[in-house]
Structure 1
Amino acid sequence: MPRQRGELLSRHEDGATLHHLVWRLGPGWRVCSSAVLGGGLGPRDWILNAQVPGGYPRLDPDRHLAQIAAAEALTGPGAGLMTAADVTAHTVADDGGATATVTSGLGVRGWAAGPAAGTDGPLPAGTVNIVVVLPVALSDAALVNAVATATEAKVQALVDAGLDCSGTPTDAVCVAAPAPESGPGEPFAGPRSRWGARLARAVHRAVLESALRHARDAPAPDRPRTDERNLV
């Protein structure tokens, strides 16, 4: 069994020190994810969550992530995510063997079905990245269901933290589980299944901790005024 928690590492790019988390899963693991590199569902030997500068200028994030992975000697198929948030401030929660690691920047946030809107100038750090590692094999359907369950738990945590949003426009989720040795694996990962419930609680705790930190540390303009809180 690999380490359930990512390894925090650093690198230097363009005169800046940036950080990234690495999960060295090894062979025999499957990942379902929306990652920009290695997204989808299939065998993955590693997961990488890399911090990049705000206002990220490159148009080849998949190639950039592959370069970071190569520098860490990560070989074979993998999944790579990126974020402008401070990766050193990641939060981790475990529930019965389901481990969730979250990096979050909530400066740019809103509701998924909100109106289209333009922006002027650079945006503050956004992106909520969630990486979940489970100790049991899941079927294809359950892996997809696990991503949905993690997303539901994320939204619940953001609302519980008092944030009027469902996330940011660039959130990503990775769920890793061992490949089945026989049979299809656990058939369910919804929030009322054994492992889906554990996953949901772990994600909720990790996102809530991160969101509460954001609410506490955000500058005054980012906090709702009293009259806004009282609007119905």
Structure 2
Amino acid sequence: MSAPVPPPRGASGPLLVRQTTRVEDGERLHALLWRAGPGWRMISSTVLGGGIGERAWVLNAQVSHGYRRTDPDRHLARLARDAGARGPGVGLMTAADVSGHARACDGGVGAVATAGLGVRGWAASPAPGAAVPAGPGTVNIVVALPVALTDAALVNAVATATEAKVQALLDAGYDCSGTPTDAVCVAARTARPGEEVHAFAGPRSLWGARLARAVHAAVRGAAPAP
């Protein structure tokens, strides 16, 4: 008879965010901070903490619609420090009011989404690309899995989250795949000695399916009516 398999760490849902408020140039702005703490590897497409590495927090900060700063990474780092975050982390920004975020959980996978859809369209567009990034509008997605993933599975998880986002936008009545500045961050646990490291996170894998459902529900919840 085989021994029982213990539940993954944080199986009840690993992603809890705290909302903060600040005033910049007379405007009241919000941010969402997840203090993940040690023991997390994250992959993200963000200007602060992007790529793959050990990260201890994630900040999703609202900025003004006319945001023109040329140092968003430094700005996000300062906002995170002011909020009490320490160590390496991930910073996202959006012009959407993040107090309207939505959270979903499926089988231990947590997802939080904010959705600003004022400037949206299809990824494969005949329009020429720009040499500079577009201003913040943005669907931002943060996902946390209570298990360890290989680097390849982390990349796979980003693709799965993106597919689930597009599905959610279509289900919500939008005729688009997203905005020009959408960002995603996927967090997975750092493997402990003897612990399984999962090699797959596609939509039909165990953890990829849970991730897809959580992201779909969070984006649907955050997307305003078209």
Cα gap change, 1:125 to 1:179, in 2 (>3 Å): closer
* Worse-superposed segment, 82-91 or 12-21: 12-21
- CA displacement, residues 175-226 of structure 1 (integer Å, 9 cap, x when unaligned): 1111011366111100000010000001111112223x332xxxxxxxxxxx
Q: Which runs of 5+ in 2 are unaligned?
A: 1-9
1:17 to 21, 28, 36: 28
1:124 deviates by: 9.8
The one-letter code sitting in structure 2 at the alignment partner of 1:114 is S
The one-letter code sitting in structure 2 at the alignment partner of 1:82 is M
1:5 deviates by: 2.1
- CA displacement, residues 58-93 of structure 1 (integer Å, 9 cap, x when unaligned): 011000001101111211110000000010000111
Say whether the 8 Å CA contact 1:3–1:23 is kept in structure 2. no
Report what 1:60 is aligned to.
71
Report what 2:217 is aligned to.
205
1:168 deviates by: 0.1
The one-letter code sitting in structure 2 at the alignment partner of 1:95 is D
1:151 aligns with 2:196: no
- CA displacement, residues 96-143 of structure 1 (integer Å, 9 cap, x when unaligned): 11111000110100000112169xxxx997200000011111111111
Report what 2:153 is aligned to.
142
1:126 aligns with 2:137: yes
2:62 to 20, 40, 51: 51
Report what 1:214 is aligned to.
225
Say whether the 8 Å CA contact 1:98–1:198 is kept in structure 2. yes
From the two aligned structures, give the one with the greater helix fraction. 1
The whole-number CA distance in structure 2 between the counterparts of 1:124 and 1:191 is: 31
2:100 to 74, 78, 89: 89
Runs of 4 or more above 4 Å deviation: none
Say whether the 8 Å CA contact 2:44–2:52 is kept in structure 1. yes
1:3 deviates by: 5.1
Q: Secondary structure at the match of 1:214?
A: coil
- CA displacement, residues 10-44 of structure 1 (integer Å, 9 cap, x when unaligned): 11111111110011111111101101100000100
Higher relative contact order, chain-length normalized (CA < 8 Å, sep 6+): 2
Say whether the 8 Å CA contact 2:67–2:136 is kept in structure 1. no
1:39 aligns with 2:50: yes
Q: Which runs of 5+ in 1 are unaligned?
A: 216-232
Aligned residues: 211
The whole-number CA distance in structure 1 between the counterparts of 2:98 and 2:109 is: 21
Kindly, what percent of the aligned residue pairs are identical?
A: 65
1:180 to 164, 188, 191: 191
